[in-house]
Amino acid sequence: MLRRVIKGLLVWGAVAGLWGLVAVGGLFAWHAYQLPDITDLDRYSRPGSVRLMEAGGSLLASYGPLHGDPVTVADLPPHVPDAVIAIEDRRFYDHVGLDVLGLARAMVANLRAGRVVQGGSTLTQQLAKNIFLTPDRSLSRKIQELLLAFWLERTFGKDEILAIYLNRVYFGAGAYGIDAAARKYFGKSATQLSLAESAMLAGMLKGPSRYNPVSAPERARQRADLVLAAMAAQGRIGETARRQATTSPARVRGSAGRGPGHRWFADWVHDQVPSYTGRRDADLSVRTTLDTHLQRLAEQAVAQGFAKTKGQNVGQVALVALDPATGAVRAMVGGRDYRTSQFNRAVQARRQPGSAIKPIVFLAALDAGWAPDDIIGDDPITVEGWSPANIDGRFLGAITLTEALSQSRNAASVRLQERIGRQRVRALAGRLGLGMDLAPGPSLVLGVDTMSPLDLAGVYAAFANGGRPIVPYAIEAIVTRAGNPLFTRSGSGLGGRVDPDAVGALNAMLAEAIDGGTGKAARLDRPAAGKTGTSQGFRDAWFAGYTADLVAVVWVGNDDGRPMNKVTGGGLPARIWRDFMTAAHVGKPAHPLPGVPLGDRLAHRAAD
């Protein structure tokens, strides 16, 4: 009787086991049927990205998912794959896609902790999930992940799987792949990563946001130390190497570590890219004109200037700097804080430049045959029912053109404009790049038309280069990921030229405006010229100036047009301009302004 019972149990157990195997086989077969097409890894598309490079060739900013250059395991220093394997999958080269021992170890650790503290997924499983599957935490998804892991192991070698993983895994800040992460965080190729840098990137894989070295530097460093300890414990590095990398942790040097100040420029460039290339899904690399050294100095000058504005009711600022020879934009600050306002006041804001527009009128007069020492009357004048006043309420009588410009005398400037004719002034403005139609009325000379700091910088660049009008620009070249050129800049001028002798005379007059006129606060230790500008009611204050090597324009005011507390162009804007230009020229030789001899009193008077 007992034997029949045991035999029956064995038979039915075998039948149940067989049906269980059939059921499990059917379950796996059904999930295998539901798998996505895995025959071609390359067919999986992704949105195209735009990488902006600064003038020196380093990554400035990226838009869309950033993918670096594909690498193989052989391309990388050994400590790069070793760091990833040590912390993510120490038995990677021994398992077949599923690490039973690792899974068991993780289960024990999780049971002891009462929560999930370790994961049992292999790198192959993570790769299967990242490439083909959704992040759902379901039994069905785990079965598909396992099946895909087995397929990957059967189809590719271990080094190939590791390379695919390293080229696709996410490292935060929009960076996909080890090379993109190396460039984003450390400003270098993945083939150049140090041990400390490799450990920090490997540590990020557990949580790219949580262990981000920019937003959580201490947490990222502790995680990197854990990676180094695991590498040493597994014999992948020696104790001396571990200690050196721990005591000298990686420092963020790439674009991810920069402040957001450059983003005004980057956004402006990114918006222009489609006009050069059309709408494209491919990855693009854009070489820009930005000089990150000058950009940093511009941001520092703005910050220092605004640290001393208490009680002046100044809300915003813009600064733009150009190479006068080409029009290349070298630095741009579009406001006080990009995080609170992405509106780019250097490009998008159109404000009244006030007297900063006067040099166009005086250049038109010089071009018409007037001389800097010619006399003009700074007396009351009424034109078409309008009577301009000087800011100090006084009239100086007969003065030279140089005095009228350097002291920014409104009555004398209007009288000069009426003598030479407004149409001559408007025509010259057009030749200098001010494409908008300037107001035809007599107040033209007082800067009632609106323009951006970038517009004004473009005009002053022609003064700094000796009379050749230019177009400000920010893009040098655009290429595809494969290196195919889509755009290469050639030429930047508007054509034509203003009389160099007239420009030289104007440069001497504007040098006097800095040396002893309204722009005294902007004086440098080298030949420089410039002009202040203040709009009616102290709503806008400007300083536009240049050396032979660099043009810069500074504007301050309030977005809503509220008046400032008597802030003029010769005050805060001139000081910001001086601080920026002084720092920008450190270590550079002094060059004479075009048309003005280096020893000319008006071009270079030693600071008191």
Counting every residue, how long is the chain? 608
Asked if 182 and 189 count as a contact pair (C-beta separation under 8 A), the reply is yes
Cα dihedral 120/123/129/135 (nearest 10)? 50
User: Which residue, chain included where needed, has tokens 């005009």?
Assistant: 459
Asked if 497 and 467 count as a contact pair (C-beta separation under 8 A), the reply is yes
CA distance 163 to 126: 13
* Number of neighbours of residue 317 by Cβ within 10 angstroms: 26
Cα dihedral 444/448/452/458 (nearest 10)? 20
Return the amino acid letter for 100.
Answer: V
CA distance 465 to 551: 10
Helix segments in 76-216, DSSP class H: 79-88, 100-113, 123-132, 139-155, 158-168, 178-186, 195-204
Of 49, 54, 62, 88, the catalytic one is 88
Question: What is the 8-class DSSP label of residue 27?
Answer: H
CA distance 510 to 406: 6
First to last CA, the chain: 120
Coil, strand or helix at 60: strand
Q: Active-site residue 413, yes or no?
A: no
Beta carbons within 8 Å of 570's beta carbon, 6+ residues apart: 518, 519, 520, 521, 522, 532, 543
Asked if 445 and 428 count as a contact pair (C-beta separation under 8 A), the reply is no
Beta bridge partners of 541: 534, 556
Nearest 5°: the CA angle 237, 243, 249 is 100
CA distance 219 to 208: 11
Return the amino acid letter for 531.
Answer: K
129: left (phi over 0), alpha (psi -120 to 50) or beta: alpha
* Sequential DSSP letters for 325-377: TT-BEEEEE-SS-TTT----TTTT--B--GGGGHHHHHHHHHHTT--TT-EEE
User: And the tokens for 129?
Assistant: 């999930």
Task: Give Cα 175 distance to the centre of its chain.
Answer: 16
Give just the sign of the alpha carbon dihedral 510, 513, 514, 519: negative
Residue 277: exposure state from Cβ atoms within 10 A (0-12, 13-18, ≥19):
middle
Of 62, 255, 355, 535, the catalytic one is 355
Q: Active-site residue 88, yes or no?
A: yes
* Number of neighbours of residue 300 by Cβ within 10 angstroms: 14
Phi and psi (nearest 5°) for 408? 55, 55
User: And the tokens for 144?
Assistant: 């598909």
Task: Give Cα 517 distance to the centre of its chain.
Answer: 36
Catalytic residues: 88, 355
